[in-house]
Amino acid sequence: MAKIVSAYGVPHTPSFVADVKARPNTETEQHFKAVKRHMDQIKPDILVMIQNDHFNTFFLDNWPTFAIGIATETSGPSDQTPDMPIYNVPVAYGLARYLHKHCVNAGFDLSSSEKLTVDHAVLVPLHFLTPAMSIPIVPIFINCLVPPLPSAQRCFELGSAIRKGIGMWHESARVSVIISGSLSLEVGGPLMDVGKTFGVPNKAWAAWILECLDGVRHDELVAAATPERMVQAGNVGGELLNWIALLGLIGKVPPDLLINQSELGNAFAAWRLNVGEAA
């Protein structure tokens, strides 16, 4: 049976690739290196990735609440991420197919795509963590941008369903989970910082989220993450739902690594796990 051996939460800010290329050894690069060291020690066979799309893989004519990619390969970036090379990424087709069926049977109506490209939400984490693109992925998407958003409780339950599905898959595989997204962020809206293209409207909210992660206060965080509360943290504040899905997946486990990138409304986190079918 497959086992979840580790989990990670990171940002997917599209400017990071160009920033690090122009100024090596930035704080951001060091944070990603810390997460990469953790993952390199784990040596996963498959990466299940949970993130939101930014109107590149999907659009408003067909915008899913939850979706999964079940192609044999994907590529990108589909959004011209600055200085990002074009990548071809293998997809763990067998696990993706199994998780799709498992989650639908569990009551989650996941849309699916057998032909998809991906944007910076998938590729920024992979660019820094697995630049050889040698580990197959399973891309799972949550609507974090377009109202009505799924509830935090529903995303938590989706994470739990994914955990159970991985543990029931018949193949022997070591699976790591990567989620990405910001905790407080405004892009192109009225809450931007003066003179910038973005803003971090509520650093205190982001810091409190990390306190909940560190203290394993998952239920408290899920209850507090209402759509109204998240939008106060910026028009991208709904990306917290990706983190909440991760909490449903990992269980009551404190992180090995937790970094607050407060000036950008971001965080980096890592968990070592050993979760199988009985979890």
Hey, what CATH class is 3-275 in? alpha beta
133-164 confidence digits (pLDDT tens): 999 999 999 999 999 999 999 999 999 999 99
* pLDDT tens digit sequence for 205-218: 999 999 999 999 99
Residue 276 is predicted with a pLDDT of: 59
E-strand ranges in the chain read 3-10, 46-51, 66-69, 73-76, 87-90, 111-113, 137-142, 174-180, 186-187, 198-199, 257-261, 266-275
Average pLDDT over residues 29-42: 98
What pLDDT does 54 receive?
95
Write down the mean pLDDT value for the chain. 95
pLDDT at residue 279 in the model: 37
Res. 129: pLDDT tops 60? yes
Q: Which stretch of DSSP H or E encloses residue 228?
A: helix 227-232
Confidence band for 277, pLDDT divided at 50, 70 and 90? very low
The 3-state DSSP class for residue 83 equals coil
Domain ranges of the chain: 3-275
Question: What mean pLDDT do residues 212-227 have?
Answer: 98
Q: What is the per-residue pLDDT for 115?
A: 93
Res 190: pLDDT: 83
Task: Give the pair of three-digit tokens for residue 103.
Answer: 């989650």
Provide the percentage of residues in the chain whose pLDDT is more than 90.
Answer: 92
